[in-house]
Structure 1
Amino acid sequence: MRRVVTMAAILAALGACGAAGSQGLPGDSEDTRPYAGLAEDAVIKLVGTEPFWGGRVQGTTFTYSTLENSDGEAIAVTRFAGRGGVSFSGTRGGAAVDLAITPGTCSDGMSDRTYPFVATLQIGSEQRQGCAWREGDDIGDEAGQ
């Protein structure tokens, strides 16, 4: 329960950062509804650099991949929709795994592609940054992966 509260606070803070002085955006203090920009049945794809990582969230499974494990590792997760985005929480080798997806233009820093969501991945004490998109979003060559 404590992790859900923590992720809710992170999502609210991230949403508030992007909504300063604006009306009707995720995290706006007048909008108390959970974020609805990512449907529960959406397949979410992820890409990150430094170190390189990627993944996919489908239903209650987050498949986490690295250069060392390109096939990925399936991690059971639970979904939480906060005011500024969605999060997925689980465990990997006894360490907490928390993945927050928030709306915002994101660049992978290595291509000209832009993605519609920012991804923040926390595995134990390590935090990784990345980008996310829904399967089927038109983001160029990456959309088919």
Structure 2
Amino acid sequence: MDFPATLQAIGTEPFWSVEVAGDVLLYTTPETMDAPRRLQATRSSDAEGLHLVGGNGDAGLRLDVRREACSDGMSDREYPFSVSLLLDGKTTRGCAFDPASPPPPQ
């Protein structure tokens, strides 16, 4: 299964986003909008989906992306990918899309 080289992942409660560009990830929260956290990851894919594993220093990271419809729970948008983000020992869930073809507003 091929996944886009670039992805935008978002999550709510707490709010966060991850911009994926190849094997580089930029992690942002409302508090870090001016200085996103840059993380390096190794990409792999299998029948379960796309997996990005890595981090910098003590920041362990795993972003799993699956091809399945996803709702962010706050809007009526439907996203083509669901994600699970493990960062610094905490797991959050969210949705993702290819920035080249974002989901239309509902």
Question: Any unmatched runs of 5+ in structure 1?
Answer: 1-35
Name the residue aligned to 1:110: 74
Percentage of identical aligned residues: 34
Letter of the 1:38 partner, please give it.
Answer: F
Letter of the 2:73 partner, please give it.
Answer: G
Residue 61 of structure 1 is aligned with which of 13, 17, 24?
24
Name the residue aligned to 2:90: 126
2-structure distance, mates of 1:107, 1:70: 23
SS of residue in 1 equivalent to 2:83: strand
Decide which structure has the larger Cα Rg and report it. 1
2-structure distance, mates of 1:44, 1:118: 11
1-structure distance, mates of 2:70, 2:2: 16
Name the residue aligned to 1:13: none
The CA deviation at 1:94 is 0.3
Name the residue aligned to 2:3: 38
The CA deviation at 1:100 is 0.2
Count how many residue pairs are aligned between Structure 1 and Structure 2: 104
SS of residue in 1 equivalent to 2:32: coil
Name the residue aligned to 1:51: 14
- TM-score, reference length from structure 2: 0.90
The CA deviation at 1:93 is 4.5
1-structure distance, mates of 2:88, 2:27: 14
2-structure distance, mates of 1:45, 1:138: 9
Structure 1 ranges of 4+ moved more than 2 A: none
Residue 136 of structure 1 is aligned with which of 100, 103, 106?
100
1-structure distance, mates of 2:37, 2:22: 15
1-structure distance, mates of 2:71, 2:50: 19
Name the residue aligned to 2:39: 75
Letter of the 1:91 partner, please give it.
Answer: G
SS of residue in 1 equivalent to 2:74: coil
Higher helix share: 1
Higher strand share: 2
Question: Any unmatched runs of 5+ in structure 2?
Answer: none
2-structure distance, mates of 1:138, 1:124: 29
